[in-house]
Chain A
Amino acid sequence: MTHELTFPVTDPQEILKLRAGDEVVVQGHIIGIRDRTQIRIFDEGQQPPMNLAGALLLHTAPNVRKVGDRYEKICIGTTTSARMVRFTEPLGREYGVRAICG
């Protein structure tokens, strides 16, 4: 089954209705995160720089190009999520993250 979800989600039912094997088409905001950021949050006690309630996290570190004082994307893709699995539960429980893509 294919669903379309817009992140951040506000209604938990939108996530609870999903079943293993379903395909999800994503709209809205995606927040990139990887090993180092999660080590900072959970092992070094630094708060994340943004609100993660209802968020979709993408396990990635993109290729970027510096244009002026901003970064422009070159290539964004997923990395192996299973490497960071110990952070999954606290991300949901403590920060309200509702989906992870990897």
Chain B
Amino acid sequence: MPLLQTDLKRAVEDAAAHLYVWALKDIPQDLRDALAAARDRETSVTGKRVLETIHRNVSVADEDKNLVCQDTGIAVYHARVGEHFPLHPARIYEALRDGTARATIEHPLRSNAVHTITRENTGPNIGHRLPIVHWEFVTDSDELHLKCVPKGSGSENMSFLKMCVPADGVAGIKRFVLESIVDAGGKPCPPGIVGVGIGGSADYAMHLAKEAIMRPIGTRNPDPVVAQLEDELYELLNETGIGPMGLGGDVTVLQCHVEHADTHMTLNPVAVNYQCWAARRASAHIGADGEIAYERDA
């Protein structure tokens, strides 16, 4: 590779390594605000105690510059690549993989990656198709926007897909999301973010559900019809009484985000992906010249 590309690749690797550790230690402000609001509005004694413990957990991590949770997750990145960004996505992927491995070794972080059948560890949070990258390509830009969302297993295990039929309508979508969250109970470390993906195909609906949990808390889908569904689901899920850590209470979810794709006239797919209360997320812009601007709350 030419020298410029080598430097740029190194910048992407640096950003990935920094974002992974930063996300694990310093949760975004919107999440801090949502957790504080949850603690203030919770009326159950047990629920309030759980939310106060969560608050202490975050404070200890801040004071000791330590991890918010021991589950360092699978490293998931969202890469929005401008058409004029001078490093090919194949090289961006290498840089993300190398950055993930470097952060894991240097910090050190718990390495979670195993072969899915042999269960043997495959490396410092890297392996076949790990880390996971969601790609987006945009015109009229020479930047790379990179977001790291470490995804813990407790919440990822609470993922659900249903191929509703068109006759099920929006009511069917709401019913399935509600049933999923009731089934999940305390397992995904509530209260967190419920990501819902609707439309597209089976695999794409789940992809969208993951995109939904990556958004800053309480942002709304630009399509008003989908935004209305977000509001309705948020209200509905908080009526379940599951509460913080599933021990009962008013606050079951911090938010519900919905992402959608248009779909076939005879399809109505619904996917649910849960993100725990420690909804870790950190972002950076990388310029064509390799300059990195970290962004805490994007």
Contacts and interface: CB of A to CB of B under 8 A. Distances in A.
Contacts, number: 47
Given A80-B154, A80-B187, A83-B157, A62 B49 contact: no
Contacts of B87: none
Interface in A69-101: 74-77, 79-80, 82-83
Interface residues of B, number: 22
Contacts of A63: 67, 70, 72, 108-110
Contact of A61 (B57, B70, B188): B70
Interface in B130-176: 153-154, 157
Interface in B66-118: 66-67, 69-72, 107-110
Interface size class of A (residues with CB under 8 A): 10 to 19
Interface in B41-69: 46, 49, 57, 66-67, 69
A10 to B, nearest CB: 29
A74 B66 contact: yes
B119 interface: yes
A3 interface: no
A76 B70 contact: yes
Given A23-B49, A62-B110, A82 B187 contact: yes
B189 interface: yes
A74 B186 contact: no
Contacts of B71: 77, 79
Contacts of B110: 61-64
Contacts of A36: 119
Contacts of A74: 66-67, 107-108
